[in-house]
Structure 1
Amino acid sequence: MKRTMPRDTDTLLKRATYASTATALVLIGVKLAAWFMTGSLSVMASLVDSLMDGAASLINLLAVRYSLKSPDEDHQFGHGKAEALAGLGQACFIAGSAIFLLMHGAERLKHPQPLQAINLGLWVMVFAIGATLILLAFQGYVIKRTNSSAIRADALHYKTDLLTNTATIVALFFAGSGYPLLDPLGALAIACYILYSAWQIGQEAMRILMDRELPEETRQRICDIALAHGTVLGIHDLRTRQSGQTMHIQLHLDLDQELPLSEAHRVAKEVENAILAAFPLADLIIHQDPRNPSRYQRSPQCLNLPETPPG
């Protein structure tokens, strides 16, 4: 059984992608102006980061809209993995920007250049930090409500922006105080951190695309809910995965073989309702297996238990 996504969840996801794209465009504009006026490689590093943010946010916007489409004849499980594909695309964009910055940082170390209008650059970076904090606050709210992998990936590289913008401020300050080499060194440090962030985002996307099992605590909670029903003897063959907003769950219930079919169906329905109450957006499939209670031994835990023959 699958429950449809609430309309407010749909709206929140779309608003989060619009806010992310709009913020990226604003920051690109102000950082581009600051770079032209200061000539700072650290500001350029932050600008490139924002350019990648803009591209990634645009991909995110399109992917989230596609992932929210209802299942159709060709996609019976929905379109949720579009979010993970967007995350993988973001990782590629971010890694590319990091490599670009590493190359330019090394070049600037060999050929230092004087900076201009440093105060303007500092104010631009302070503005960028303020705008990013507002966006992250909204994204954090959306993630708590939706658990979206795409929004989580988007928020992760905006969190790196806080560090890159702070590093840019530090580099500009010291460059203006007579330490010009700190400008390219700051850019190189930012590039390394961006590359690390790209690895984190790509790794999370690959977990989803490869149908990795949900965290053990989530799976154990599913087991505990099922085993809490007094009629259930045990549970085995629990399988889980995440696709966009939908959590896919499959499990087998062990029930007394003497139960009438209608009673077994009622028990399975009650277990289903209890699990869906805890995980409202889950796509849940429950199979019932007959067991002899007098010969049945319940395992202390139900994760990854193989199916046993009736009897």
Structure 2
Amino acid sequence: MDRDERFGMADRIISIGFWVNAVLMTMKLLAGHFGNSEAVFADGMESACDFVAIISTMIALKIGRKPLDEKHPFGHGKAESISAILVSLVIFSAGGGILFRAVQTIMNGSYLEPHLIAILAAVSTVIIKEALFHYTRSVAKRLESPAVDAIAKDHRKDALTSIATLIGVGGAYLGISVMDPLAAVLTAFFIFYIAWETFHNAAHDLMDGQAPEELICEIAAEVDKIPAVERVHEVRCRRSGQYLIMTLKLEMDPNMTVKDSHEATVLVKKRLFEKFTNVGDVTIHVNPHEPEGEHKDLIRL
């Protein structure tokens, strides 16, 4: 798919999440307040933090879709990873706030008796958020977008925390009052885990971390199909937003002309662009094939 189609799809899925979050946030805050449930109200506050995350992602996608320029020869895709870092910090902050309030309630022993409306709000959130997670995750996988994937994980986090909320508010509704703040504590730890996972993945991309080994092997196998390529010496692959930036070191017949080796690299690029729709750029370094010895490149890193 072309650039406009990719970013248009990302915009649509994020807009859907934005408006669904708006409705759920309002519902949970009202149900938690009037339904006497600290867990449901905390869930609503967490949804409020999601607005910051989604707005951050919208801005990142707008920046990330800009084409390369003189100052950014590899494009602006890293804006998505920066956005994912910000999302992780917002999620972590939400977890900290929920944990603090729940611990205070348990220590003070000031338990509330929740109403049925709080339970209904939790049930609705679980169903809606889980469905939204699967839809958003499918789009994130298709686009291979870290920003959209962060939003998908945020939806899954909401679904998981709402299950804990439902258990807590349900137990409190049946008379075990401490279960409501305990559910809020459990919710906080779910949030911390997802915040760390989102932060870790985004930081890996910002540090130009290598792509997964399975992908590297798949790239090497595809390049190896080109007749002129004697050996795939090295594959480096890093992520910039929705795109992959590759650097290949290939060994070819030392008697080939410069023109022939250039034509071979063009074939390699074409094959990679056809096979992997999210490849943004490919740089190829050609070495002479040395059957009796390992070719060693000069490198300072």
Of 44, 49, 53 in structure 2, the residue corresponding to residue 47 of structure 1 is 44
Q: Distance in 1 between matches of 2:288 and 2:110?
A: 78
Of 288, 291, 295 in structure 2, the residue corresponding to residue 296 of structure 1 is 291
Write out per-residue CA displacement over residues 29-81 of structure 1, whole angstroms, 9 at most, x where no aligned residue: 11111122022111122112211212111111111121112122322211101
Q: Name 1:103's counterpart in structure 2.
A: 100
Q: Name 2:233's counterpart in structure 1.
A: 236
Q: Distance in 2 between matches of 1:271 and 1:78?
A: 22
Q: Distance in 2 between matches of 1:248 and 1:60?
A: 21
Change (3 A) 1:33 1:220: same
Change (3 A) 1:165 1:260: same
In the alignment, structure 1 segments of 5+ residues that lack a partner are: 300-304
Q: Name 1:253's counterpart in structure 2.
A: 250
Q: Does the CA contact (< 8 Å) of 2:114 and 2:173 recur in 1?
A: no
Identity %: 26
Shift of 1:200: 0.7
Write out per-residue CA displacement over residues 84-139 of structure 1, whole angstroms, 9 at most, x where no aligned residue: 11111011111111111111111110223453552111111222223213322320
Q: Distance in 2 between matches of 1:224 and 1:184?
A: 54
Show structure 1 runs of 4+ deviating over 3 A: 112-117
RMSD across aligned positions (CA): 1.9
Matched, 1:209 2:199: no
Could you tell me which amino acid in structure 2 is paired with residue 98 of structure 1?
G
Q: Name 1:285's counterpart in structure 2.
A: 283
Q: Distance in 2 between matches of 1:140 and 1:238?
A: 28
Instruction: Name which of structure 1's ranges 70-79 and 190-199 shifts more when overlaid on structure 2.
Output: 70-79
Shift of 1:297: 4.4
Shift of 1:243: 0.5
Aligned length: 297
Of 118, 121, 126 in structure 2, the residue corresponding to residue 121 of structure 1 is 118
Shift of 1:83: 0.7
Shift of 1:10: 1.5
Q: Distance in 1 between matches of 2:175 and 2:143?
A: 48
Aligned ranges 1:57-72 → 2 under 5 Å: 57-72=54-69
Write out per-residue CA displacement over residues 159-216 of structure 1, whole angstroms, 9 at most, x where no aligned residue: 0111111111111111011100111111111111111111111101100110001111
Instruction: Name which of structure 1's ranges 179-188 and 19-28 shifts more when overlaid on structure 2.
Output: 19-28
Q: Distance in 1 between matches of 2:44 and 2:209?
A: 35
Q: Distance in 2 between matches of 1:230 and 1:246?
A: 27
Aligned ranges 1:176-195 → 2 under 5 Å: 176-195=173-192
Q: Does the CA contact (< 8 Å) of 2:265 and 2:284 recur in 1?
A: yes
Q: Does the CA contact (< 8 Å) of 2:210 and 2:238 recur in 1?
A: yes
Could you tell me which amino acid in structure 2 is paired with residue 166 of structure 1?
I
Which structure carries more relative contact order (alpha carbon 8 Å, separation 6+)?
1
Shift of 1:144: 2.6
Q: Name 2:297's counterpart in structure 1.
A: 307
In the alignment, structure 2 segments of 5+ residues that lack a partner are: none
Q: Distance in 2 between matches of 1:75 and 1:161?
A: 36
Q: Does the CA contact (< 8 Å) of 1:237 and 1:307 recur in 2?
A: no
Q: Secondary structure at the residue paired with 2:235?
A: strand
Q: Secondary structure at the residue paired with 1:233?
A: strand
Could you tell me which amino acid in structure 2 is paired with residue 287 of structure 1?
H
Shift of 1:219: 1.0
Matched, 1:170 2:148: no
Change (3 A) 1:117 1:192: closer
Q: Does the CA contact (< 8 Å) of 2:113 and 2:172 recur in 1?
A: no
Q: Name 2:31's counterpart in structure 1.
A: 34
Matched, 1:90 2:83: no
TM-score using structure 1 length: 0.89
TM-score using structure 2 length: 0.92
Q: Secondary structure at the residue paired with 2:95?
A: helix
Matched, 1:196 2:181: no
Q: Does the CA contact (< 8 Å) of 2:7 and 2:61 recur in 1?
A: no
Q: Distance in 1 between matches of 2:292 and 2:54?
A: 52
Q: Name 1:302's counterpart in structure 2.
A: none
Could you tell me which amino acid in structure 1 is paired with residue 176 of structure 2?
Y
Matched, 1:141 2:129: no
Shift of 1:262: 2.3
Q: Distance in 2 between matches of 1:297 and 1:279?
A: 33
Change (3 A) 1:297 1:156: farther
Shift of 1:236: 2.2
